[in-house]
Chains A and B, each alone.
Chain A
Amino acid sequence: LAKTTQPISMDSYEGQEVNITCSHNNIATNDYITWYQQFPSQGPRFIIQGYKTKVTNEVASLFIPADRKSSTLSLPRVSLSDTAVYYCLVGTGTASKLTFGTGTRLQVTL
């Protein structure tokens, strides 16, 4: 299983860019990297997924270096509503082996 390591918590002010880095040193060739966001009392919400280089969608960007041993989720100009727990997951070929870590608790303040 590809284990992931990410900071337990981060703080940011509204309007700033937030970068959350995830380490996955033993990522396998076929593994994809996926990030989820979870608000209290809600289910995880898919944010972005990538395999290599850079992926961008309407809410975030995902940067993956050539060795793929880490990835960085970038949230541009966060707002208070971005306060949530962010999970980095690495797929290992079958979806059943998706393992959630403790995630990164992002707190955004004014």
Chain B
Amino acid sequence: NAGVMQNPRHLVRRRGQEARLRCSPMKGHSHVYWYRQLPEEGLKFMVYLQKENIIDESGMPKERFSAEFPKEGPSILRIQQVVRGDSAAYFCASSPRTGWTANSGNTIYFGEGSWLTVV
């Protein structure tokens, strides 16, 4: 049972270029989350998507960042016109459903991350 797959693992971009990060959720999972982790910091929530829908993008910068999770294919986090401050590890996670109830938890599984370096 393959886990959450992210690619590329490492990506180097020059300032002003575009970065595309891909995430394939675990089999049977229809909910995808993106987090960003700056060096020596915790993970910060960016966006939560279901198939073809953005559910919560409250953590994503309003400009240059976008995310999608099409009906077919992986989820993509896109960063346009990258700047040095975008250098970070970007983690994707997936879960089979949303919400945790008193009767049933909901485990979110993370991928190994994509490390973006902007030079």
Contacts and interface: CB of A to CB of B under 8 A. Distances in A.
Interface of A: 29-32, 34, 36, 41-46, 49-51, 87, 91, 93-103
A96 B112 contact: no
A96 B33 contact: yes
Contact of B110 (A43, A51, A95, A103): A43
A96 B59 CA distance: 10
Nearest to B55: A96
Interface string B5-41: 0000000000000000000000000010101000001
B100 A32 contact: yes
Given A30-B100, A42-B113, A96 B105 contact: no
Contact of A43 (B41, B99, B112): B112
Interface string B87-107: 001010101001111100111
A94 B99 contact: yes
A32 B89 CA distance: 26
A51 B107 CA distance: 13
Contacts of B110: 36, 43-46
B102 A101 contact: no
B33 A95 contact: yes
A93 B107 CA distance: 12
Contacts of A50: 105
A43 B93 CA distance: 9
Given A100-B42, A101-B42, A32 B106 contact: yes
25 contacts: A29-B102, A30-B100, A30-B102, A32-B105, A32-B106, A34-B107, A42-B112, A42-B113, A43-B91, A43-B113, A44-B110, A87-B43, A91-B106, A94-B48, A94-B98, A95-B31, A95-B98, A95-B108, A96-B45, A96-B56, A97-B45, A98-B108, A100-B42, A100-B44, A101-B42
A41 B95 CA distance: 22
A103 to B, nearest CB: 6
A91 B99 CA distance: 8
